[in-house]
Structure 1
Amino acid sequence: MMAARTAHSGTTLLAVVGIVAALADGVLAAIGATSWQSYRSGALTVEQTGPFMVMGASAAVGAVLALLAMIALLRGGRGLARATLRLTWLRLGAVFIALVAVTLIAGISAAGVFGVTLAVGDALGGFVVTGVAARRTTVGHQPRRT
């Protein structure tokens, strides 16, 4: 009885971490949207905003993936957890391709270097949440139902 409670509370704690990651991705997506609005109004150049727009789009996808990983943790959905991990790999590849495209087409500024760092760091950080969900929902780590 006590082991089941400990396993369930650990899974719940990991799900809370997933929610926090989704909220952090939401903040980064808002920064990307603000960057887009600044570009549209003429306040910033494409060299300054390009990486932040890529980061914002990636963060929006990351928020959805973090929520899906949280659902997989709470429901014990191994297939969903593995799918979110695969989609996180796809997200990382898309971020690299988009950042290279933005850099080659528009160039990059000093602020853009910071945006590139945030975009890649956020995409890599997505592996923490989805990787844990994939590991915790495997056959050997199924949470017990009481």
Structure 2
Amino acid sequence: MIKPDDLALGGPPVHAWPRDPKSAVIRDGSRLNEIILVKLDPNDFDEETRSFAADNILAYSAICTHAGCSVTEWAKATNADGNVFKCPCHNSEFDPRHGAEIVFGPAPRRLPALPLAIVDGALVISGPFTRKVGVLSAG
């Protein structure tokens, strides 16, 4: 169980797998379930991003939308201020403050967000991913 105090403001992000609140089963059977959690200054969030944050914590899919690699880096943005999520395979960068929009690289779309809530002092998922996780097929 991850609590808000487990995350430091400004990062680094924490990689995790959601746990079903009813069955207590951790959804680690597929890498598509891996998420990135990060706690940031809410004054930097746009309105859409603020709507799925809980206690200034954001959750996004850890699967790059370009080639399906794992987004594992927290690095200084190439063409912007602040740190971003970065995929090491082809250097796509995603700004978590603005709904994980693409700020650099070949990724065709932003990372899906996972809405959060705080229940009994713990982070819980409050809805489905905001869009399909992973790479979209062309067919």
TM-score by structure 1 length? 0.25
Report the structure, 1 or 2, having the larger helix content.
1
User: Larger strand proportion, structure 1 or 2?
Assistant: 2
| TM-score (ref. length: structure 2) | 0.26
